Structure 1
Amino acid sequence: MANGVWGITPKKNRPAGALKSASAAAFLAIFSVSARAAESGGQPGAFLQYGVGARALAMGGAFYAIADDATAAYWNPAGLAYLQRKEITTMQATLFQQTSFNYMGYAHPTTTKGTYSLGITQLTSNGFEKVNATFDPATGEATKIDKAGSFADTQRAISFAWGREATETMSFGLAFKQVSRQLDSSSDSHLAMDIGAMRVMGPNYRLALGVQNVFSKAGGDTADRLPVILKLGNSVRAFKDRLVLGFDLQKSQTADLNWRFGGEYWAARWFAFRFGLLAAPTIQETDFGFGLRFRRVQLDLAQGIHDLGASTRMSVTFRFGRSRDDRSEDQIKNLIQQGFEAFREGDFSLATLRLNQALDAAPNNKQVKAMLARLQTVVGFVPQATGGEEFQTYTRKGVIAYVDGRDMKSSVNALRYAYNKNPKDEKLLGLLNLVEREGGVSELTRRIDGPDTFTFVDQKLYDARQAIYDGKYDLAVRRAQDILDLEPSNVTALEIMGSSFFLMEEKAKAKAVWKRVLELDPKNKTVAEFIKQIQ
């Protein structure tokens, strides 16, 4: 005779069919509760096909392109991107005596980094009888069966998910899950990853696509693998979002194509009615239910009708905290304010960082976009100009005028003055030349070639005199004017300008300029003589 314990004896000592019989009893208890078992019954992680959240289940599970509550981590992690407040959802379903299905999930939206979620799903079935059996080795029939206690079947999935908007119309999400099974003393586990994407195709239509178990790894007493599941979802909204309809297609490696269709209608702000169908491919289950909402608490009830009877599921959702939009708006305002303050103080690198952070949170802010376009250029030349020295003060003025974009001449003049005070700053010269080009200046400021004590003004005076010697009187006037834009009382520049006009036979202009020289330098005898000659 041979002894053994059904369902837990070592494989080499088990008679054929012993574990199969015990396991079959367990799986029958677990999966007979819903037609969803037909999709992948007996496969590892098959209990996850049951679905979570009474709201979604009342819609037949046609939730892949809706997924706008905390259960999105289970259905489609891309939907987490659209949550506004923190949410906790719990679901409890007593499938039948000593068998329960439970779920709890928490979703935490952030203003700029997407929404994070943590969830746990568990199916527990207790009270299975464990026996010792003695078999006749000749016939293989059991000759004696003794009770050896009881055992339980527990299946659990723990998931961590994240979803974020990639653009205004596109979101994506990832979910990592650890799935475990414990059947008496035998256990196994799986690690897997889901990916999902959702596209807003218009004000009332969404399309979703994803893959479940795109990556999986098994461990423990099993050689099974989680099946790859392809999903496609559609949803349509109408009547100012009071009605939403969903239609999903799902194909598993180990099951036929199935489809789900369902809808939700909010008859009042506090009451919703739901319905759904599940087919694989013929209709296997009909669902209906309702939802009650009071402020930030929502109670949902779902009833499923299938060949094996009916199952009831109930869930409660709590929403709390400030909405993401409210927090995002405050954060954006704060970041923009910090950026502007840093900008005015001359810390252009910090200003760029803060405004980029604001733009990440509000990609459509045109004011920030326009400001950043030029500020990022400035940072490449002059990251900071925060000191109290004169050249730093004028650098700030020049940059502020450049980023503002309305008075390029003021920007050029301020930067020229700053360069005049700090002529060895090659980076500042590079920024000045860039601004001059954008401002349409015909002659760019060049590196000062004279002695170390030469300044921008000294160089311009030298160049203006050289233009006279070369007979380029109009160029000499422009160069003198460049100096006067920075130093309106520069007598030498006025003398050069007056001489240029005189040589161009524009004596009236020459006389006016020279009179200004005498106002500034009444003892200038040379200019006084020229004025007498003109008169």
Structure 2
Amino acid sequence: MKPKSWLLLVTFFLAVLLLMAGTASGQDEYSNPGALLDLGRGARPMGMGGAFIGLADDENAVYYNPAALGFLDEFGVTTLWSPQFGFLDYGGIGFARKYVGLSTSALYSGSIAVPNEFGADTGTSFSYLSGNGVLGFGFPLLSQLSLGGKARYYYSHLTLDSSEDGYGWSVDPAIIAKGENFGLGIMVENALTGGLVYGSNHREELERKLRAGISFSSRIDRRMKLNVLADLEAPLDSVAEANYELITPHLGIELWLSGVGVRAGYNGRALTVGSSLEITNLRLDWALSAYQSGLTETHRVSLIYRF
């Protein structure tokens, strides 16, 4: 790509980000029953607004598009940590290799004091713990086409009333097609699901979603590479028809110069930025999400080591 061409592309993308940041779109991420049980993976995708399904070229594919595991060449272990909203801790660990990957995460509140009606400490406290495990797989059908999916298990626990512990599961099929400079991915989240079932036999359904994304990659020169990504996410109704009035966009852009990466994005609720430093087999990723709704900004750090 000529320098003027990629400069125009970057300028256009940044203009779109600024325009979308001033508008409200999509759904509230935390209004769905399973939202706090699954906050995503990896700082790199977060830094690009969560847009990753059409690229999925590293260990984060386990979560974002497991079909892409069929194209992985190395075995990698990944960890993440992210303070959420100033009072929750979110972390996880996983691994991925060609064809298969496993990832787990947990959200923990720590001890929270229970005050009386006057705000005084009662000596009673509680804590909240939730998380999920993901098993993903992907198998190439052709040199540029791979099918896959992931199975997820959810749990939640509140120490005040363990009889109300919740459990659930879901299965998400996925597909990805990759060319020399582009990628196209599709995944149906919660295509099969048992919902979330609590101790009182109360049941909450997990929302089915269609997610599709495209990526474009170009080498500006020998050491510099540009990735531009766009995902669209829409809820599916009972007959698997998408509600296009509730589409959530995820946009991302990433620039690599040797072992240093910088990125920015938009996820329908927040502007995001991120960076990476890669030294031989080790990569450190960082991301920041700045919410428009007044929520505390969220940082995420992840570490990947490849064998």
2:132 and 2:153 in contact (8 A); partners too: yes
Q: Rate the CA distance shift 1:79–1:301 in 2: closer, same or farther, 3 A.
A: same
1:77 deviates by 0.6
Partners of 2:188 and 2:208 within 8 A in 1: yes
Q: What is the TM-score with the length of structure 1 in the denominator?
A: 0.47
Q: Which of 207, 216, 238 is equivalent to 2:218?
A: 238
- 1:278 paired to 2:258: no
Residues 454-487 of structure 1 deviation map (CA, whole Å, 9 limit, x = unaligned): xxxxxxxxxxxxxxxxxxxxxxxxxxxxxxxxxx
In the TM superposition, what whole-angstrom CA distance separates every residue of 1:365-393 from its partner, at most 9, and x where no partner exists? xxxxxxxxxxxxxxxxxxxxxxxxxxxxx
| Kept in 1: contact 2:37–2:107 (CA 8 A) | no
Stretch moving more, 220-229 or 144-153? 144-153
Corresponding residue for residue 121 of structure 1: 105
Q: Report the Cα distance in structure 2 between the residues aligned to 1:154 and 1:214, rounded to whole angstroms.
A: 25
Residues 3-402 of structure 1 aligned to structure 2 (within 5 Å): 39-47=28-36, 50-109=39-98, 115-130=99-114, 147=122, 149-184=124-159, 185=162, 186-200=164-178, 202-218=179-195, 219-221=197-199, 222-239=202-219, 242-253=225-236, 256-267=246-257, 269-279=258-268, 284-307=269-292, 308-320=295-307
SS in 2 for 1:57: helix
Q: Secondary structure at the match of 2:45?
A: helix
Displacement after TM superposition at 1:159 (Å): 1.2
Q: Secondary structure at the match of 2:69?
A: helix
Deviations 1:442-462 (A, max 9, x none): xxxxxxxxxxxxxxxxxxxxx
Judging changes above 3 Å, is the alpha-carbon distance between structure 1 residues 144 and 85 closer, same or farther for their aligned structure 2 residues?
A: closer
Deviations 1:411-442 (A, max 9, x none): xxxxxxxxxxxxxxxxxxxxxxxxxxxxxxxx
| CA distance in 1 between partners of 2:262 and 2:42 (Å) | 15
In 2 relative to 1, CA 153–239 (structure 1 residues): closer, same or farther, beyond 3 Å?
A: same
Deviation of the 1:131 alpha carbon: 6.0
Once residues 85 and 207 of structure 2 are traced to their aligned partners in structure 1, the CA distance between those partners, rounded to angstroms, is 27
Per-residue Cα deviation, 1:31-52 (whole angstroms, up to 9, x for no partner): xxxx999534243320356321
Contact kept in structure 2, 1:287 and 1:305, CA below 8 Å: yes
Unaligned runs of 5+ in 1: 1-34, 110-114, 133-141, 321-535
Letter in structure 2 aligned against 1:243: L
Higher share in helix: 1
**Residue 113 of structure 2 contacts residue 121 of structure 2 at CA under 8 Å; is this kept in 1?**
no
TM-score, length basis structure 2 = 0.80
**Contact 1:89/1:317 (8 A) holds in 2:** yes
Shift of 1:147: 2.3
Residues 183 and 43 from structure 1, CA distance in 2 versus in 1: closer, same or farther, beyond 3 angstroms?
A: farther
Distance 1:48 1:246, change over 3 A: farther
Distance in 1 of aligned mates of 2:177 and 2:77: 25
**Partner AA of 2:189 in structure 1:** Q
Task: Report the structure, 1 or 2, having the larger strand content.
Answer: 2
- Contact 2:37–2:155 under 8 Å retained in 1: no
CA drift of 1:223 comes to: 1.1
Q: Deviations over 1:170-201 (max 9, x none)?
A: 1111111111111222211001111110012x
- Percentage identity across paired residues of the two chains: 26
Structure showing greater Rg:
1
**CA RMSD of superposed structures (Å):** 2.6
Task: Return 5+ residue gaps in structure 2 as ranges.
Answer: 1-23, 238-242
Deviations 1:120-139 (A, max 9, x none): 0111112333467xxxxxxx
SS in 1 for 2:185: strand
Q: Is the 8 A contact 1:36 1:50 kept in 2?
A: no
